[in-house]
């Protein structure tokens, strides 16, 4: 399963590399302007160093990956965005539905606790939470449905008033701008599910 994680993160890295300027420009409107570059730096740090991480155990490997990413990104986003990366080692390809639900519920709890953030505050939680609800309500999931759920959750962050981060201090509370962290999270989650479907169809 280490290969699963490598493929997933590598794909995420390529998509973020393509979109980081777009993410930075969202962050320039409601944050400190560098979220796209920050997540790109974190992914670059791990993806281009996989061969130097001399660990064969999946859990320890991903724990090291998330540590390197967290340090390289720094700040709150480094802490919050690597929670899912670490939790993802609980994926069981023979029991995808249940293991994905468990990964999501513990990710959500940890983000709430460490980020002191709630659903609807305009944050990465507004991607994880609705997707968790959706998966929980269905016996199986289709990639198109997952992707459209992620897309609509991302669009929903646009009209949310920020209750966390710098955006909450703006007169506009960030209304009218998609949350940059939610944007990068949407990319990472889409690539995670894409890799699950690749794995399933192999
Ligand atoms: Mg920043």
Contacts of residue 6, defined as CB under 8 A and 6 or more positions apart, other chains included, come to 47, 50
- pTM, rounded to two decimals: 0.97
Closest CA to 173 of 34, 24, 29, 4: 29
- 160 secondary structure, DSSP code: P
pLDDT at residue 202, rounded to an integer: 74
Distance 183 CA to ligand 1 centre (A): 14
Residue 57's alpha-carbon distances to 2, 20, 89, 176, in angstroms, are: 8, 31, 10, 44
Distance 176 CA to ligand 1 centre (A): 19
112 in Cβ contact with 118 (< 8 Å):
yes
* 173 burial via Cβ count (<10 Å: 0-12, 13-18, 19+): middle
Distance 186 CA to ligand 1 centre (A): 18
pLDDT at residue 147, rounded to an integer: 97
Distance 22 CA to ligand 1 centre (A): 14
Distance 7 CA to ligand 1 centre (A): 26
pLDDT in tens, 16-69: 999 999 999 999 999 999 999 999 999 999 999 999 999 999 999 999 999 999
Distance 99 CA to ligand 1 centre (A): 32
Give me the domains of the chain, ranges plus CATH numbers.
Answer: 2-200 (1.25.40.340)
Distance 76 CA to ligand 1 centre (A): 9
Distance 38 CA to ligand 1 centre (A): 7
- Which of helix, strand or coil describes residue 130? helix
Contacts of residue 92, defined as CB under 8 A and 6 or more positions apart, other chains included, come to 98, 99
pLDDT in tens, 149-177: 999 999 999 999 999 988 999 999 999 99
Distance 103 CA to ligand 1 centre (A): 26
């Amino acid at each position: 399963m280490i290969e699963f994680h490598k493929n997933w993160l590598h794909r995420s890295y390529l998509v973020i590399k393509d979109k980081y300027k777009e993410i930075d420009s969202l962050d320039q409107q409601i944050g400190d302007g560098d979220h796209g570059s920050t997540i790109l730096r974190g992914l670059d740090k791990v993806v281009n160093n996989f061969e130097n991480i001399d660990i064969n155990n999946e859990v320890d490997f991903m724990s090291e990956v998330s540590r390197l990413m967290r340090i390289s990104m720094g700040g709150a986003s480094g802490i919050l965005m690597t929670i899912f990366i670490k939790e993802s080692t609980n994926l069981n390809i023979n029991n995808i539905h249940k293991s994905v639900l468990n990964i999501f519920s513990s990710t959500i709890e940890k983000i709430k606790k460490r980020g002191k953030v709630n659903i609807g505050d305009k944050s990465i939680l507004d991607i994880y939470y609705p997707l968790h609800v959706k998966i929980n309500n269905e016996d199986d999931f289709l990639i198109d449905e997952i992707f459209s759920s992620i897309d609509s959750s991302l669009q929903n962050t646009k009209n949310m008033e920020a209750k966390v981060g710098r955006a909450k201090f703006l007169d506009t509370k960030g209304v009218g701008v998609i949350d940059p962290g939610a944007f990068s999270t949407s990319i990472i989650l889409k690539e995670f599910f894409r890799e699950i479907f690749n794995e399933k169809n192999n």
